[in-house]
Structure 1
Amino acid sequence: MARPSLREKIIESGVRTLHERGFAGAGVREITGDAGVPQGCFTNHFRSKKAFAVTILDRYHELTQAIMDETLRDESRPAAERLHAYFDAITEWLEMAGWRYGCLVGNMSLEVPEHSELLRTHLIEICGALTSSFAEAIRAGQKAGEIRSDLDADDMAAFILASWEGAMMRMKVDRSPRPIEQFRRVLFATVVSP
């Protein structure tokens, strides 16, 4: 099997580094050190730290989309069950991380919009894609009578994403699953109910 390229090593490690330390807290030295590559490799593969962050967000989004493919987009399940499965999968990952890191998209959304138009615009695109994925599942549930239909699916999806990100932010502060559990109880008792 071929060895991963240095660029790929930087990206793989960079997802973890930016997730754990944040954009401002992870300099090129930390990024390359965590990847185990010479510092000069960074500029060979990335125009800037902001361009690197776009690549990292894309990789993280690919990972999220893979989870969504297995859960939210699994048409063999009822829509409400798909939503439960998605939040179960993410909650499992959050627990393994000790309730410390939340969502990289949410973390960067809090950190970078005032400092980088490039990253702000990219985050808008990613949040739009995430919202669309929730909206698809909600529409399917509304059509099947499993999810309340008196609310617009796009509005519900935007609300779910914003509330989920907020719950993860609070989870990080508390280092506790309690905000996630509260989010899920309220979501499934009110918003996602027939």
Structure 2
Amino acid sequence: MNKIHILSDTRATLLETGLKLFAEQGYNGTGIKEIVDAAGVPKGSFYNYFKSKEDFGAEVISHYAAGFAEKWSACLGEGPQQPLAALQYSYERIISYHEQCTVKSGCLLGNFAAEMSESSELCRLTLQQVVNGWHKRFSGYLRKAQADGSVRTDLSAEQLTDFFWNAWEGALLRMKIERSTAPVRACVNLMFNHFFLP
């Protein structure tokens, strides 16, 4: 039992270390040796958990998505009960998190999409699965907000969600370029206080 616990701890440490380094340096800018050195794990041990760097990259995407989903759930749970207000509150909390970070690394999903979608089918499919899960949850909230009259109905919840995702990811890229959260704040303000409204 203790051995299983140690194995899972080592795997989690590698994933957390990979997540940090990939966010700061990108996938191609980070080597396996750098990951295992930072994690304090022998290089040979890496292959006990992951078949390849590509497999590890896909696992990091899933690990990041699971962590984000957990934080998002917490934000939605502590925010207002109205669906649109709950979404806006959750994204304002996300922006507050970015403001506390000295390195404006943006969104790991967007970073991976730009860097790996053409070169790794495994990473592309993992990204697609994660984005689809986010999309379903976000559009579910918008659908409820349409039902209570707080969101426009001339476009479907899915169309509105697509547009928000595209705007948000673009704003995150600008955040990295400008090293400022002003673009994401402007995006959230425009979307929630204007674009979504009836």
* Same fold, TM-score > 0.5, yes or no: yes
Query: Does structure 1 residue 109 correspond to structure 2 residue 113?
Result: yes
User: For 1:148-174, what per-residue CA distance to the aligned partner results, in whole angstroms no more than 9, with x for missing partners?
Assistant: 111110011111111111100110010
In structure 2, the CA distance between the partners of 1:59 and 1:163, relative to structure 1 (3 Å rule), is: same
TM-score under structure 2 normalisation?
0.91
Query: Does structure 1 residue 126 correspond to structure 2 residue 146?
Result: no
Q: Which residue of 2 aligns with 1:63?
A: 67
The answer to whether the 8 A contact 1:130-1:161 is kept is no
Q: Which residue of 1 aligns with 2:140?
A: 136
Q: Distance in 2 between matches of 1:100 and 1:75?
A: 25
**Number of residue-to-residue matches in the alignment:** 194
The answer to whether the 8 A contact 2:18-2:60 is kept is yes
Q: Which residue of 1 aligns with 2:87?
A: 83
Task: Compute the displacement of 1:17 (Å).
Answer: 1.4
The answer to whether the 8 A contact 1:68-1:133 is kept is no
Structure 1: runs of 5 or more not aligned? none
The answer to whether the 8 A contact 1:67-1:89 is kept is no
In structure 2, the CA distance between the partners of 1:80 and 1:178, relative to structure 1 (3 Å rule), is: same
Greater helix share, 1 or 2?
A: 2
Q: Distance in 1 between matches of 2:137 and 2:71?
A: 11
Q: Distance in 2 between matches of 1:175 and 1:99?
A: 8
Q: Distance in 2 between matches of 1:74 and 1:161?
A: 23
Query: What amino acid maps onto 2:98 in structure 1?
Result: L
User: For 1:126-152, what per-residue CA distance to the aligned partner results, in whole angstroms no more than 9, with x for missing partners?
Assistant: 111111111011001000111111111
Q: Which residue of 1 aligns with 2:192?
A: 188
The one of 15, 31, 35 equivalent to 1:11 is 15
Q: Distance in 1 between matches of 2:172 and 2:79?
A: 27
In structure 2, the CA distance between the partners of 1:104 and 1:170, relative to structure 1 (3 Å rule), is: same
Structure 1 segment 44-59 matched on structure 2, within 5 A: 44-59=48-63
* Root mean square deviation of aligned Cα: 1.9
Q: Distance in 2 between matches of 1:190 and 1:108?
A: 30
Q: Distance in 1 between matches of 2:66 and 2:139?
A: 18
Q: Distance in 2 between matches of 1:75 and 1:95?
A: 19
In structure 2, the CA distance between the partners of 1:76 and 1:175, relative to structure 1 (3 Å rule), is: closer
User: For 1:82-116, what per-residue CA distance to the aligned partner results, in whole angstroms no more than 9, with x for missing partners?
Assistant: 11121122112211223610110111011101111
Query: What amino acid maps onto 2:42 in structure 1?
Result: P
Task: Compute the displacement of 1:184 (Å).
Answer: 1.5
Mean CA deviation greater in 92-101 or 69-78: 69-78
Task: Compute the displacement of 1:19 (Å).
Answer: 1.3
Identity %, equivalent residues: 30
In structure 2, the CA distance between the partners of 1:104 and 1:91, relative to structure 1 (3 Å rule), is: same
